[in-house]
Amino acid sequence: MVKHWRVNREEKYEIVEKWFLKDLEMIDGKEADTDTPYFDMHFHKVYNLEAYSCASKYTFARTISKLNAMYLKKDLKIVNFDETYLNDDLIWSSSNRDCLVLMRICFYAFNLVCLSLCPLS
């Protein structure tokens, strides 16, 4: 676990706590249907954590899952996460049309970039 803070214009990081992957029993995303950065990690005790964003929470869970599959191959429980976003293979097959929403956001962002490059007369 890393603590982050800013001093003037410098960003500081401090390692607060370390765990072994083999001791991790479960990652609980708390709410699969809500975009929250909060999750729990279950070791010999439960740690309540907050990620930088919901996307970073999912990235963290995917990374832990891949490390577990690569090195430990143990049954690691990852609960209360949307399966669509946990598996890289399934990202384009979302059943609730998240991909269409993302495409629309990208379309608007692209339009904003194009408009910002147009010279003012």
Interval 15-72: pLDDT, tens: 988 999 999 999 999 988 888 999 999 999 999 999 888 888 999 999 999 999 999 9
- Residue pair 72/55 in contact by the 8 Å Cβ criterion: no
Mean pLDDT of the chain: 84
Residues 72 and 15 in one domain: yes
CATH of the domain at 10: 2.30.29.90
Indicate the pairing of strand 77-79 with strand 26-28.
Answer: parallel
Q: Order of strands, edge to edge, in the sheet holding 26-28? A: 46-50, 38-42, 26-28, 77-79
Average of per-residue pLDDT across 73-92: 80
- Residue pair 58/85 in contact by the 8 Å Cβ criterion: yes
Residues 8 and 57 in one domain: yes
Domain that holds residue 106: 88-120
Residues 67 and 51 in one domain: yes
Contacts of 15 (CB under 8 A, 6+ apart): 1, 2
Residues 74 and 96 in one domain: no
Average of per-residue pLDDT across 68-92: 83
Tell me the C-alpha distance between 104 and 17, whole Å.
41
Number of domains in the chain: 2
